[in-house]
């Protein structure tokens, strides 16, 4: 399926379909006229309850809740039954393999994919992909996508009235190195308005798609930037009810990555769920 076909099919209720939405909220399936105050009260009440539960001895949570009402689109899209505890079988203990044939060497630099320079704050995001034992995930695919510096996605359904940057697609791919490292050069994305409620804004973020050495480790997440004032207001970020767990999605500014008169540097390490397969078997594959 081509990317073009897919950008046509997305009927996302979270995307703006008309710029007028900003001035005059339209009541839709997601009831976008709800206020931030309503949402913030819900977020706060869930967090207060969570803190009480943890104080009462409940184990801290490390992943987002699938059932998180403040993110309205999750209401009909979360399973209500407990997942079945399953021992992984052979195929699940291996992961698809990607190689240099799969990816162009320039795909990790999102600032050189067009004739001209994209507008915005040039940044580098770099770090390591590790498994739950701290072992580097080697030679594995990392995919990213993001809005441009004005907070606009190149996606057709994103029609929020911010400029498209003709020199920026916001899409990148790379393979991790032997030490699990990855590095992307890009532009710092802007905050992005969406229709969860009236005047809803996502904190600036970069979508990350990750594979491990086992398919059970497959994950997609979002990386955020330190000190974003929208954190407290955002139902997607706050769906991780534990502050320490949420912090794991926030990159660290690192002046050692920053380059003289060129770009600002951020570090973000990613830890995948622990591997089930033993290391001995892993070595056998090589």
Partner 1 sequence: MTETTPTTDLTPTPGQTVGPFYGYAMPYEHDNELVPPGSARAVQLTGTVYDGAGERVPDAILEIWQPDENGEVPRKTGSLLRNGFTFTGFGRAAVDPEGEFSFSTVNPGPTEAGKAPFISLVIFARGLLNRLFTRIYLPEDTEALAADPLLSSLDEDERARLVATRGADGSLHFDIRLQGEEETPFLRFPSHED
Residue 57 is a binding residue for partner 1 (CB under 8 A): no
Cα–chain center distance at 219:
10
Residue 75 is a binding residue for partner 1 (CB under 8 A): yes
Residue 41 is a binding residue for partner 1 (CB under 8 A): no
Give the helix/strand (H/E) hosting 219.
strand 219-224
Nearer to partner 1, 51 or 246 (CB): 246
Residue 54 is a binding residue for partner 1 (CB under 8 A): no
Catalytic, 207? Answer yes
Catalytic residue among 72, 205, 237, 277: 205
Residue 231 is a binding residue for partner 1 (CB under 8 A): no
Query: Residues 190, 247, 147, CA angle at the centre, nearest 5°?
Result: 20
Catalytic, 205? Answer yes
Residue 119 is a binding residue for partner 1 (CB under 8 A): no
- Considering only 111, 140, 186, 239, the residue that binds partner 1 (CB under 8 A) is 239
- Contact partners, residue 84, CB within 8 Å, separation at least 6: none
Residue 215 is a binding residue for partner 1 (CB under 8 A): yes
- Considering only 209, 252, 258, 267, the residue that binds partner 1 (CB under 8 A) is 209
Least distance from C-beta 45 to partner 1, angstroms?
Answer: 18
Beta bridge partners of 265: 124
- Contact partners, residue 47, CB within 8 Å, separation at least 6: 238, 241
Are β-strands 252-253 and 264-267 bridged in parallel, bridged antiparallel, or unpaired? Answer: antiparallel
Q: With 0-12 CB in 10 A as exposed, 13-18 as middle and 19+ as buried, what is 158?
A: buried
DSSP, res 61? P
**Please, which of residues 158-197 interact with partner 1 by CB under 8 A?**
158, 169-171, 173, 179, 181
> Which active-site residues does the annotation give?
153, 192, 202, 205, 207
């Amino acid at each position: 399926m081509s990317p073009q076909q897919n950008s046509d099919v997305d009927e996302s209720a979270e995307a703006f379909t008309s710029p007028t939405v900003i001035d005059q909220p339209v009541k839709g399936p997601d009831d976008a006229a709800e206020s931030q105050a309503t949402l913030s009260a819900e977020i706060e009440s869930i967090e207060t309850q969570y803190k009480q539960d943890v104080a009462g001895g409940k184990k801290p949570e490390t992943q987002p809740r699938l059932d998180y009402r403040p993110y309205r689109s999750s209401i009909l899209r979360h399973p209500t039954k407990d997942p079945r505890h399953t021992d992984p079988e052979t195929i699940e203990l291996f992961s698809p393999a990607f190689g240099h044939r799969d990816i162009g060497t320039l795909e990790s630099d999102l600032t050189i994919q067009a004739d001209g320079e994209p507008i915005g704050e040039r940044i580098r995001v770099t770090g390591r992909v590790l498994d739950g034992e701290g072992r580097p995930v080697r030679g594995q695919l990392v995919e990213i996508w993001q809005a441009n510096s004005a907070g606009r996605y190149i996606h057709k359904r994103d029609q929020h009235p911010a400029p498209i940057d003709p020199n920026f697609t916001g899409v990148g791919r790379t393979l991790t190195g032997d030490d699990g490292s990855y590095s992307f050069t890009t532009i710092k994305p802007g905050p992005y308005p969406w229709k969860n409620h009236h005047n809803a804004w996502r904190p600036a973020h970069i979508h990350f798609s990750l594979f491990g050495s086992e398919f059970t480790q497959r994950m997609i997440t979002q990386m955020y930037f330190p000190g974003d004032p929208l954190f407290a207001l955002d139902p997607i970020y706050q769906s991780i009810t534990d502050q320490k767990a949420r912090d794991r999605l926030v990159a660290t500014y690192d002046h050692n990555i920053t380059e003289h008169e060129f770009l600002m540097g951020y570090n973000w390490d990613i830890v995948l769920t622990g591997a089930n397969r033993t290391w001995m078997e892993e070595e056998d594959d090589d």
